């Protein structure tokens, strides 16, 4: 089966970059990315590709090369479904905020809406690819909806989870560790699998394309994120122990990371993990385990989230304690709002929760992030609902200059590891701050002889650790 036309429903952080890469590597395939969000589609079609809705190094250049040739962004969902041989579903699957499973289970309403729309529109056989992160056995529900249309169309369901790291999405897509494709263990299922293997084979070595059954593929995505998040929470738990025992968490991480069985990745103590995937996927894993009566399994994975929340509170509490147990009326500058460098994604960013804690103590916050807009910062704080929109705007300023943001500040907290922060003129910054001036390094990014920050140490600038 040769794929000539691909439709992707969902123009977000996964759908947009993934389809752009497929279009760039498969010149003979027409790729249509569709979304009902007109503002988002307009941004993808902006004549200046620097204004596309997602910031990823190298992405705007790829969009410029392919858009209008074999890559198209549109709100014409029905037409794209009708034209496609293969349909990727890449819509949001947030954690439920209502009903059974509230706060843990994945909300699959957008997935179901996609399935019903495909079933209503399609008049020819389609391969449906799950690209969104989904609970185990979601494919079964999709197939039930699609197979009961009564119009004689055949649908084959594949699971093709993404393993992208925001900030390196383009390189991850170009040189993936692996591509995972789960399919039904039938003749039709294997043919559908091979069709998607053939798409990726245009640039990915075949030995790096793994095929499994659908259920293994669905669970593998949740498991990968759970294991990565577990490492972050593990080293963060040890960072607290290091502080009270006078051990150095960076030295501990280097020592254990040198063990080939452990490895050095994801062993950097920090203020905690954020992003759209880790917390959502672990909570989903917890809910699935509980639903099958596996309470010990659920408790084990839930502890990863508990530790992450504790780390964010602990960091914010340390700021208050160091500033003589009161931050009321004090100017505190937060460097970074995105959950990690090289992205403008703020979902579940540690900065939001640190800011919320400090605002509850009546601190006056000034935010600087090179890629996050003022509108997004206020939107994140308003969404929490801890205080009124007016109070958020009274207590929080978002500036476009890091030097202006830090001028006359009582303290600075580094909350995103942007490379830009390493090259700031810290001598000038120190001179402009109120004394004593404090630095709290939650991301270990600073590189300066006076600011050799490690882990969660807080510093009186110019004097070293407190």
Hey, what are 282's tokens? Answer: 């672990």
Cα separation values, 277 from 29, 189, 388, Å: 29, 28, 28
Contact 226, 297 (CB under 8 A): no
Bridge partners for 8 per DSSP: 33, 88
**Whether residue 268 lies in the annotated active site:** no
DSSP one-letter code for 367? E
Which of 277, 312, 318, 330 is catalytic? The answer is 277
Query: Helix 295-322 crosses helix 214-245 at what angle (to 10 degrees)?
Result: 40
User: Number of helices and strands (H, E) in the chain?
Assistant: 17, 15
Contact 86, 195 (CB under 8 A): yes
Q: Which residues contact 453 (CB under 8 A, 6 or more apart)?
A: 414, 439, 441, 444, 446, 459
Contact 128, 87 (CB under 8 A): yes
Distance, CA of 398 to CA of 246 (rounded, Å) = 36
Which of 162, 166, 302, 364 is catalytic? The answer is 162
Contact 128, 148 (CB under 8 A): no
How many C-beta atoms surround the C-beta of residue 431 within 10 A?
13
Distance, CA of 226 to CA of 207 (rounded, Å) = 25
H or E element at residue 343: none
**Whether residue 221 lies in the annotated active site:** yes
**What values do phi and psi take at 416, rounded to 5?**
-140, 140
Is the C-alpha dihedral spanning 114, 115, 116, 118 positive or negative?
positive
Checking DSSP bridges between strand 209-213 and strand 179-183, what pairing results, if any? parallel
Q: What angle do CA 43, 375, 229 make, to 5 degrees?
A: 85
Which of 126, 221, 340, 341 is catalytic? The answer is 221
Q: What is the largest CA-CA distance in the chain?
A: 75
Q: Active-site positions?
A: 162, 221, 277
């Amino acid at each position: 089966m040769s794929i000539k036309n691909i439709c992707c429903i969902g123009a977000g952080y996964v759908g947009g970059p993934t389809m752009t890469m497929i279009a760039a590597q498969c010149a003979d395939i027409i790729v249509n990315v569709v979304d009902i969000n007109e503002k988002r589609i307009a941004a993808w079609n902006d004549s200046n590709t620097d204004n596309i809705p997602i910031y990823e190094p190298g992405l705007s250049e790829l969009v410029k090369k392919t858009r209008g040739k074999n890559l198209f962004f549109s709100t014409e969902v029905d037409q794209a479904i009708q034209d496609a041989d293969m349909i990727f579903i890449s819509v949001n699957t947030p954690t439920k905020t209502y009903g059974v499973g509230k706060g843990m289970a994945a909300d699959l309403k957008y997935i179901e809406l996609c399935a019903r729309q495909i079933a209503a529109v399609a008049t020819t056989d389609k391969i449906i690819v799950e690209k969104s992160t989904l609970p185990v056995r979601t494919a079964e529900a999709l197939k039930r909806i699609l197979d009961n249309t009564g119009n004689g169309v055949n649908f084959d369901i594949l699971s093709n989870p993404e393993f992208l790291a925001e900030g390196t999405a383009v390189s991850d897509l170009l040189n993936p560790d692996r591509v995972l494709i789960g399919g039904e263990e039938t003749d039709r299922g294997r043919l559908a699998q091979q069709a998607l293997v053939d798409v990726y084979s245009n640039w990915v070595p075949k030995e790096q394309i793994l095929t499994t059954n659908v259920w293994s593929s669905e669970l593998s995505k949740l498991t990968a994120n759970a294991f990565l998040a577990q490492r972050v929470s593990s080293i963060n738990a040890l960072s607290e122990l290091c502080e009270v025992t006078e051990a150095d968490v960076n030295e501990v991480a280097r020592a254990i990371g040198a063990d080939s069985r452990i490895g050095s990745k994801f062993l950097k103590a920090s203020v905690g993990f954020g992003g759209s995937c880790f917390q959502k996927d672990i909570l989903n894993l917890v809910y699935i385990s509980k639903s099958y009566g596996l309470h010990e399994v659920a408790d084990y994975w839930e502890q990863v989230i508990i530790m992450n929340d504790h780390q964010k509170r602990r960091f914010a509490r340390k700021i208050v304690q160091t500033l003589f147990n009161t931050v009321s009326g004090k100017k505190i500058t937060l460097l970074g709002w995105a959950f990690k460098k090289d992205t403008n994604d703020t979902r579940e960013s540690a900065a939001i929760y640190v800011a919320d804690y400090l605002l509850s103590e009546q601190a006056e916050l000034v935010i600087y992030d090179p890629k996050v807009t003022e509108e997004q910062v206020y939107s994140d704080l308003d969404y929490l609902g801890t205080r009124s929109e007016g109070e958020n705007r009274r207590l929080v300023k978002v500036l476009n200059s890091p030097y202006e943001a830090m001028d006359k500040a009582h303290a600075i907290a580094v909350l995103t590891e942007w490379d830009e922060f390493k090259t700031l003129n810290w001598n000038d910054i120190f001179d402009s701050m109120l004394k004593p001036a404090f630095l709290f390094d939650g991301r270990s990014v600073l590189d300066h002889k006076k600011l050799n920050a490690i882990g969660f140490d807080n510093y009186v600038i110019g004097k070293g650790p407190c």
